[in-house]
A and B are shown apart, each in its own frame.
Chain A
Amino acid sequence: KAGVTQTPRYLIKTRGQQVTLSCSPISGHRSVSWYQQTPGQGLQFLFEYFSETQRNKGNFPGRFSGRQFSNSRSEMNVSTLELGDSALYLCASSFSSLTSGGYEQYFGPGTRLTVT
């Protein structure tokens, strides 16, 4: 099976712009979670989508949003970028079923966003 893919891998944006990141989960996985990784704050949960619905949300401002499509692919959007949004954004997919051991999350390689 192909792993989790994220596009683009690298992105440079200017303060005030917006950005959209894409994530394609492992085939058959219906849950997609997003995480932000920075040297100062570490790995922080942004939100989770399951069957096109946001199921869980972390403590981030409303500038961070996401969506999931019927094929389980997910996008996250950050509007009005700030310097502090520079980070590695990681997407993770899971089957999301405990009986099948689906509590494992499989991570993509990430998108490195630099805001200047």
Chain B
Amino acid sequence: AQSVTQLDSQVPVFEEAPVELRCNYSSSVSVYLFWYVQYPNQGLQLLLKYLSGSTLVKGINGFEAEFNKSQTSFHLRKPSVHISDTAEYFCAVKTGANNLFFGTGTRLTVIP
């Protein structure tokens, strides 16, 4: 069975500061990893994905994430956040079946 842990439910950070949102997963098989963002009253938007290959993946809006197989982690980072990055961020994993297992989410609040 798969599971996803997002260690921080809320992360406040000042504008233009760097941020890291943590994600750890558990799976007995190979996984595909995703980060999604959800703005208020909206659906989920894909930020980035790891399917295979380079462990450092770059996504939209300046976000990047690094896949670490030994630590079963897929942390999301941004070197300088903007007010518009305030949203909820979800880490998700998928194995062979086409359904996503989500973490509980991290609410990022950017403080002016």
Chain A residues in the interface with B (C-beta under 8 A): 4, 31, 33, 35, 42-45, 48, 50, 55-56, 58, 90, 92, 94, 96, 98, 101, 103-110
CB pair B99 A109 closer than 8 Å = no
CB pair B49 A104 closer than 8 Å = yes
Interface size on B, residues (CB 8 A): 23
With both beta carbons as reference points, the residue of chain B lying nearest to A106 in the complex is identified as B46
CB pair B97 A56 closer than 8 Å = yes
CB pair B102 A42 closer than 8 Å = yes
Which residues of chain B (30-68) have a CB below 8 Å from chain A?
32, 34, 36, 41-46, 49, 51
CB pair A56 B43 closer than 8 Å = no
Q: Which residues of B contact A48 (CB under 8 A)?
A: 97-99
CB pair B97 A109 closer than 8 Å = no
CB distance from B6 to the nearest CB of A (A): 10
- What are 18 A-to-B residue pairs whose CB atoms are below 8 Å? A4-B43, A33-B98, A42-B103, A44-B102, A45-B100, A56-B97, A56-B98, A56-B99, A90-B44, A94-B98, A103-B51, A105-B46, A105-B98, A105-B100, A106-B46, A107-B45, A109-B42, A110-B43
Of A55, A58, A103, chain B has the most CB atoms within 10 Å of the CB of A103
Q: For the complex, what is the distance from the CA of A14 to the CA of B41, rounded to whole Å?
A: 22
CB pair A107 B98 closer than 8 Å = no
